[in-house]
Structure 1
Amino acid sequence: MKIRVRFTKSGPMKFIGHLDVMHFFQQLLRRSGIPIAYSTGMSPHQIMSFALPLGIGLESVGEYMDIEINEAVPSLQAVECMNRHSVEGIEILSFKALPEGALNAMASVTAADYEVGFREGFLPSFDLSAAMTGLFERDSVTVLKKTKKSEKETDIKPLVYSFEAFKDRLLLKLSCGSVDNIKPELVMKALYGYHGTELCDYALRIKRLDMYTGERDELKSLDSIGSDIDDQGDNNRV
């Protein structure tokens, strides 16, 4: 049975890298008694994958892990047990059975919501709403996007699906995944550049709110794909 787990990452755990998060969940599943399935072969390992690794220092209330289990576990029981054995900064929010044929979260994620705030003393002097509107009224928004192997100029305007500006924060819906991936830091760099202001490396407080699958006009939360498991081991579609 394939399971999707939604969890948070905050507090001290936001400084833990992706590999350490994976190792943490391997231990958490064992401590919680979840009947996790293992791969076959010379070196069996727990079958798990994560939707989209979160950058170090970022918080999230919408992280996803897919696993396979050997027998059904009631969703409420699994959530309670995993939270009992978890640590500060990691909270399990849901434990849902995936439908037959569903793609794993890593392969299906196409967009994500972010909240971008500012550390004390770093709130910009310019109006966020006016600046964002002016920036994205342009025909293109070109920035220098760096990868591990190269860097190139990229028009990020088509990759910013929507935004909402407040006095002290922004809400961004961005393209994410294996095809077109954009980080909120890059949007903020473009915004500050448009206003002629330098962005300090430590100015931002970024939280991922959720991740989605589907096309731009038909996005669905990764949390909406599965269904809860009741005490009899049945899936209750929600």
Structure 2
Amino acid sequence: MKVRIKFSKEGPVRFIGHLDIMRYFQKAIRRAGIDIAYSTGFSPHQIMSFASPLSVGHESCGEYFDVELNSITDTEDIKMRLNQTMAEGIQILQVAVLDETEGNAMASVAAADYLISFRDSVSLPDDWKEKLTAFYEKDKIPVIKKTKKGEREIDLKETIYQLEIREDQVYMLLDAGSGSNMKPGFVLETFCTAENISLPEYPFRVRRLETYKRTGEGRLVPLIP
């Protein structure tokens, strides 16, 4: 049976990359005694699928991965046993059994939302909030985006579903689908370039709040509703 697990990643572990997080959970599942299924063949591996990878240095309270289990006692029991093996900064938040028709976590991702703040090293104009709001309210925001296949022009506005100022932070709901996955840092870098705001290295603090899929009616809902 398929099970989806939601977890948070905060503090120093935010500097651990995606591949190392995958290996960490493979070991944690073994330590917790979870009856996970393995692939067949000469090199069996745990059947596991992660949702959208989180950039190194970002925190999150909305990360997900799917596992295939041979047997299950209770979702709360799995949550408790995994949390007993977790390192500081990683916490299991939810465990849910999936319908067999549910797509895997990676293929299901449609959007993600973030809360971003500028580090103290960034020198912002007094009216940056008004300028950012005006930037978002443009009909189109043409920009060159680098991809694995080279560079192409996109309309950045189409990938920003929502943007608002929350005190001194910026909230964004962005397209996170496999075809047009948008990063919050890229949005703010584009804005700063347009406004001639110079940025030092690592100018933002980023926290992913949730990861979403689309329902049949087109609504965005968390990967575990």
> For the superposition of Structure 1 and Structure 2, which TM-score range results when normalised by the shorter chain?
over 0.9
How far off is 1:72 after superposition?
A: 1.4
Name the counterpart of 1:180.
180
The 5 Å alignment of 1:7-156 reads: 7-122=7-122, 124-156=124-156
Equivalents in 1 of 2:160, 2:11: separation in Å?
28
Distance 1:142 1:98 in 2: 39
Cα distance in 2 for residues equivalent to 1:217 and 1:129:
31
1:128–1:166 contact (8 Å) kept in structure 2? no
Query: Residue 126 of structure 1: CA displacement?
Result: 3.7
State the TM-score, normalized to the length of structure 2: 0.94
- Answer whether contact 2:161 2:173 (CA < 8 A) is retained: yes
SS at match of 1:14: helix
Give the deviation of 1:118 after TM superposition.
2.1
Residues 160 and 174 of structure 1 are in contact (CA less than 8 Å); yes or no, is this contact kept in structure 2?
Answer: yes
Cα distance in structure 2, aligned partners of 1:146 and 1:185: 14
**Aligned mates of 1:80, 1:118 — CA distance in 2:** 36
Q: Deviations over 1:155-192 (max 9, x none)?
A: 11011000120231111000012122111011101221
Q: How much does 1:139 deviate?
A: 2.5
Q: Say if 1:217 and 1:129 are closer, same or farther in 2 by CA, change over 3 A.
A: farther
Deviation at 1:217? 5.3
Give the letter aligned to residue 221 of structure 1.
P
The letter for the 2-side match of 1:222 is L
Does the CA-based 8 Å contact 1:7-1:93 persist in structure 2? yes
Deviation for aligned residue 1:123: 6.1
Cα contact 1:16–1:56 (8 A) shared by 2: yes
Q: What's the CA shift for 1:3?
A: 0.3
Deviating runs (4+, > 6 A) in structure 1?
none
Distance 1:116 1:123, change over 3 A: farther
TM-score, normalising length: structure 1 = 0.89
Aligned residues: 224
Give how far 1:149 is off: 3.9
Q: Quick one: distance in 2 between partners of 1:23 and 1:171?
A: 31
Partner of 2:224: 223
Runs (5+) with no aligned partner, structure 1: 225-238
- The residue identity in structure 2 corresponding to 1:206 is V
Identical residues among aligned pairs (%): 44
Which stretch has the larger CA shift, 62-71 or 143-152? Answer: 143-152
| CA drift at 1:94 | 0.7
Root-mean-square deviation (CA, aligned residues, Å) is: 1.6
Asked whether the equivalents of residues 4 and 65 of structure 1 are also in contact (C-alpha less than 8 Å), the reply is yes
Name the SS for the 1:91 alignment partner: strand
1:210 matched residue in structure 2: 210
CA contact (8 A) 1:115 1:170 kept: yes
Q: For residue 124 of structure 2, give the secondary structure of its aligned residue in structure 1.
A: coil
